[in-house]
């Protein structure tokens, strides 16, 4: 498609957009009495308007039924979380038995490493990307120390090549081959939070399985953003938070994937609690743990219903739209944003550079040359919500559910004015 940097053209794209009506289903913060242009769905997704109803329903059932709500609420609480598995499985390319919702992301990564990081004398290394999200670094280091090992020896980081902005799959694969039967686990963020790169999860997973390692993916920036095919890629496990592209609300519950191959296995250890035991016999309060036959075996506690409710509300929208339609808009919208950025860059004589590679979801990370944080502040003051990462990067993530093509055009105008006003 031949793009144009004009309001009329952007509005034409909005008219042709089958998802355009979903904008009205979200709440927007306001700056100068106008809805903002929201580029931080990669950090906290906007609130879907149906979220409040889902929470209110729980509040009403709680008020009117109290403990009886566990079994007689509109959506009974004792198995409330099960309602999320099927729609979530479609978002991440899994079978519904392989997916569950529990706890929060870093907690779940720890729990999953209890099952899938079992270092031996020979096989104890973990491969991850250089400068992984800090929480993942702390999680990996503390797991390694928990096993009495030294993070400096056990954790191997794949670096970018000098002068390059993203990781090469071939470098990751050759590192995997080099570590060979010393490699216990590969754990990488499926979409890098900083440069927006999508890793080739199929190839990397296959390569790591080839040397007998377990493979897990942190999908914080991937779930609801890119096409995922976890089951067919043969990934061992994955986890993601739900408050970024999944629009479930601040700090909300995390999704977990465990490949069906690992369900019902006695040789994989796990930390256990009563919500992981068979629901048919759960309330007999027996001392023996009989695991659920799906990913719910990893559940510990009864679900935090008030948290899970808005996640379910958001999933209703994902279910309605479907990932194929969302991905189609995501690609067009991001490509249009890239076009606008390049147009502005021409007009202001190359003050910035997109560091996100072609393998990407909706995030574009933009490195600003010779522009300080003042440009970011200018954008914020003028109704463009982006985020800033040291040393000089703004991240723009036009989430396809609620960002429009007109937003991209208008952003370009604000950006140009901001650079020129310096």
Ligand X SMILES: *Cc1c(COP(=O)(O)O)cnc(C)c1O
Query: Nearest distance from residue 130's CB to ligand X, in Å?
Result: 14
What is the CB neighbour count within 10 angstroms for residue 416? 17
Paired residues of 291 in beta bridges: 277
What is the longest distance spanned by two Cα atoms in the chain? 72
Single out the segment in contact with ligand X by CB under 6 A; choices: 85-93, 104-112, 123-131, 382-390.
Answer: 104-112
Question: Does 105 sit near ligand X (CB under 6 A)?
Answer: yes
Question: Does 38 sit near ligand X (CB under 6 A)?
Answer: no
Query: Nearest distance from residue 249's CB to ligand X, in Å?
Result: 12
Single out the segment in contact with ligand X by CB under 6 A; choices: 103-111, 155-163, 168-176, 228-236.
Answer: 103-111
Which is it for the CA torsion 181, 185, 190, 191, positive or negative? negative
Single out the segment in contact with ligand X by CB under 6 A; choices: 213-221, 292-300, 314-322, 334-342.
Answer: 213-221
Query: Nearest distance from residue 133's CB to ligand X, in Å?
Result: 3
Q: Evaluate whether 209 touches 215 at the Cβ level (below 8 Å).
A: yes
Binding marks (x or -) toward ligand X, 236..265, rule CB under 6 A?
-----x------------------------
- Applying CB under 6 A, which of residues 106, 334, 382, 404 lies at the interface with ligand X? 106
Q: Say how far apart CA 161 and CA 377 lie, in whole Å.
A: 32
Which is it for the CA torsion 317, 253, 361, 87, positive or negative? negative
- Applying CB under 6 A, which of residues 110, 166, 175, 221 lies at the interface with ligand X? 221
Q: Say how far apart CA 379 and CA 413 lie, in whole Å.
A: 11
Nearer to ligand X, 136 or 407 (CB): 136
3: tokens are 């793009």
Question: Does 87 sit near ligand X (CB under 6 A)?
Answer: no
Q: Evaluate whether 360 touches 397 at the Cβ level (below 8 Å).
A: no
Judged by DSSP in three states, 159 sits in: coil
Q: Evaluate whether 355 touches 261 at the Cβ level (below 8 Å).
A: no
Nearer to ligand X, 25 or 135 (CB): 135
Nearer to ligand X, 23 or 131 (CB): 131
- Applying CB under 6 A, which of residues 26, 80, 167, 193 lies at the interface with ligand X? 193
DSSP code per residue over 278-306: -TTTGGG--SS--B-SSGGGG--S---HH
Nearer to ligand X, 216 or 291 (CB): 216
- Applying CB under 6 A, which of residues 41, 69, 87, 189 lies at the interface with ligand X? 189
Query: Nearest distance from residue 307's CB to ligand X, in Å?
Result: 12
Query: Nearest distance from residue 344's CB to ligand X, in Å?
Result: 28
Nearer to ligand X, 220 or 263 (CB): 220
Query: Nearest distance from residue 313's CB to ligand X, in Å?
Result: 19
Q: Which of residues 120-149 bind ligand X (CB under 6 A)?
A: 133, 135-136
- Applying CB under 6 A, which of residues 129, 218, 236, 296 lies at the interface with ligand X? 218
Q: Say how far apart CA 336 and CA 173 lie, in whole Å.
A: 33
- Applying CB under 6 A, which of residues 50, 104, 165, 342 lies at the interface with ligand X? 104
Q: Say how far apart CA 319 and CA 37 lie, in whole Å.
A: 25
Q: Which helix (H) or strand (E) holds 125?
A: strand 125-129
- Applying CB under 6 A, which of residues 112, 187, 220, 354 lies at the interface with ligand X? 220
Nearer to ligand X, 54 or 133 (CB): 133
Nearer to ligand X, 42 or 382 (CB): 42
Nearest Cα to Cα of residue 398 among 6, 38, 7 = 38
Q: Say how far apart CA 385 and CA 7 lie, in whole Å.
A: 20
Nearer to ligand X, 253 or 384 (CB): 253
Paired residues of 384 in beta bridges: 37
Supply φ then ψ for residue 239, to 5 degrees. -150, 155
Who contacts 115 (Cβ-Cβ below 8 Å, separation ≥6)? 237, 258, 262, 268, 269, 270, 298
Residue ranges in contact with ligand X by CB under 6 A: 104-106, 133, 135-136, 189, 193, 218, 220-221, 241
């Amino acid at each position: 498609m031949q793009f144009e940097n004009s309001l009329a053209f952007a509005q034409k794209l909005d008219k042709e957009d089958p998802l355009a009506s979903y904008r009205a289903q979200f709440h927007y913060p306001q700056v100068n009495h106008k809805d903002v242009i929201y580029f931080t769905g990669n950090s906290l997704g906007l609130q879907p308007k149906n979220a409040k109803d889902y929470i209110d329903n729980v509040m009403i059932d709680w008020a009117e039924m109290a403990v009886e709500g566990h079994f007689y609420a509109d959506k009974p609480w004792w198995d409330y979380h099960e309602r999320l598995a099927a729609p979530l499985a479609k978002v991440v390319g899994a079978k519904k038995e392989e997916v569950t919702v529990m706890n929060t992301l870093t907690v779940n990564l720890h729990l999953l490493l209890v099952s899938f990081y079992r270092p031996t004398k020979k096989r104890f290394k973990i491969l991850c990307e250089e400068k992984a999200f800090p929480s993942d670094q702390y999680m990996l280091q503390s797991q390694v120390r928990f096993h009495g090992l030294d993070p400096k020896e056990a954790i191997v980081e794949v670096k970018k090549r000098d002068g390059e902005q993203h990781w090469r799959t071939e470098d990751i694969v050759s590192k995997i081959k080099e570590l060979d039967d010393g490699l216990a686990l590969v754990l990488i963020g499926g979409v890098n939070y900083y440069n927006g790169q999508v890793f080739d999860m199929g190839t990397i997973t296959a390569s790591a399985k080839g040397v007998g390692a377990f493979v897990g993916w942190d999908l914080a920036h991937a779930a609801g953003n890119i096409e995922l095919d976890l089951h067919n890629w043969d990934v061992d496990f994955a986890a993601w938070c739900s408050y970024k592209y999944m629009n479930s609300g601040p700090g909300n519950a995390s999704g977990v994937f465990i490949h069906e191959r690992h369900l019902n296995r006695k040789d994989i250890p796990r930390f256990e609690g009563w919500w992981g035991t068979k629901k048919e016999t759960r309330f007999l309060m027996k001392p023996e743990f009989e695991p659920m036959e799906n990913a719910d075996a990893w559940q510990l506690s009864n679900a935090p219903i008030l948290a899970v409710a808005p996640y379910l509300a958001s999933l209703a929208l994902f279910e309605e739209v479907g990932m194929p339609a969302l991905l189609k808009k995501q690609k067009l919208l991001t490509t249009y944003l890239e076009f606008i950025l390049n147009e502005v860059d021409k007009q202001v004589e190359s003050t910035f550079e997109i560091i996100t590679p072609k393998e990407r979801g909706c995030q574009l990370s933009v490195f600003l040359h010779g522009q300080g944080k003042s440009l970011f502040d200018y954008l914020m003051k003028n109704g463009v919500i982006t985020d800033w990462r040291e040393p000089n990067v703004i991240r723009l993530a036009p989430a396809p559910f609620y960002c429009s093509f007109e937003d991209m055009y208008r952003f370009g105008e604000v950006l140009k004015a901001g650079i020129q006003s310096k």
